Amino acid sequence: MIEQTPALFQTERQRQILVLAVNHGRVEVADLSTRFGVTTETIRRDLSELQDQRMVRRVHGGAVAWETTNFEPLVSVRNDQHDGEKRRMAARAIEELPDRGTCIIDSGSTLSRFADAIPHDQRLRVVTNSLPTAQALADRDGVEVIVIGGKVRNNTLAMVDAQAISAVQLLHVDALFISSDAATADGGLTTPYREESLLKRAMIQAARRVVALIDHSKFGQDQFVQFARWSDIDMLITNEETDAETAERIELLGTTVVRT
């Protein structure tokens, strides 16, 4: 039985529809009508508007998430996905912070959770290309935050252009905390975006130690550009739902794997 959601404003209803589409791959008009207590015509209008924004694709009887064709969801939507797993991974990653050192924190919803988890009394110099991460750390008395400049991507609120790459190439830091759009044991870490791959490579080259935070939903797929092999990654922090055989194969390639 589908649980009915209390009446919502159109924007919040559409946001929840998008979350459902991303989490489940497909949503049905009839189910959404029951869930939100509105007519099927209202749901069809919602889906048409979301399609105009390239967030879902209309199909017969419903819609599918646009991200299946490499669309990158809004950062607010990504933050809602696998939130419990991301928070567990973030809590574990705190143990890998350098003591009074320097680090780069990459963009992404998992790393935003990591930034939120950094203790207020931690003393660090943090470089980031993520506006949410910079905002999360701005009130930490012991954390000096340096934001990499460049054009802000609307969906992720991150800077990934040539200006950001040039800034990172000048750095030498103790640790990098990085994530990935996709990963496999054989193919390493991949992303659909060429500029983002170049920035991630520059981050890896700038760091003495690299810690990757990647949840189970990112494994088993390869995207357009490889930006790292597992030999580039010192530690992978993932969640228990990640396939044990995949974790073992990655460890054989020299990466320490922590499933939390």
- The pLDDT value given to residue 198: 94
Predicted confidence pLDDT, tens digits, the chain (260 residues): 445 555 677 888 888 898 788 777 789 999 999 999 999 999 999 998 888 777 788 888 899 876 544 445 555 445 455 688 999 999 999 999 998 899 999 999 899 999 999 998 899 999 999 999 999 999 898 999 999 988 888 768 899 889 999 999 999 999 999 999 999 999 999 998 888 999 999 999 999 999 999 999 899 888 889 999 999 999 999 999 999 999 999 999 999 999 99
**Cα–Cα distance for residue pair 260/254, rounded to 1 Å:** 19
**Cα–Cα distance for residue pair 69/171, rounded to 1 Å:** 35
Domain boundaries along the sequence of the chain: 10-69, 77-259
* Beta-carbon-side half-sphere exposure of residue 131 (alpha carbons within 13 Å): 14
- The count of other CB atoms within 10 Å of the CB of residue 244 is 10
CA of 245: how far to CAs of 46, 50, 52, 75, 161, in Å? 41, 38, 41, 31, 36
**Cα–Cα distance for residue pair 56/64, rounded to 1 Å:** 6
**Cα–Cα distance for residue pair 79/225, rounded to 1 Å:** 24
Q: What are phi and psi of 43, to 5 degrees?
A: -65, -40
Specify the pTM: 0.72
For the domain 77-259, what is the CATH code? Answer: 3.40.50.1360
Residue 105: both structure tokens together:
């924190």
- DSSP for 24-57 reads HSEEEHHHHHHHHT--HHHHHHHHHHHHHTTSEE
- The pLDDT value given to residue 68: 47
**Cα–Cα distance for residue pair 129/127, rounded to 1 Å:** 7
Residue 132: both structure tokens together:
């949410």
Give first-to-last CA distance, the chain, whole Å.
Answer: 32
Instruction: Pick 10-69's CATH classification: 1.10.760.10, 1.10.10.10, 3.40.50.300, 3.40.640.10.
Output: 1.10.10.10
Chain-centroid distance, C-alpha 254: 24
- The pLDDT value given to residue 7: 60
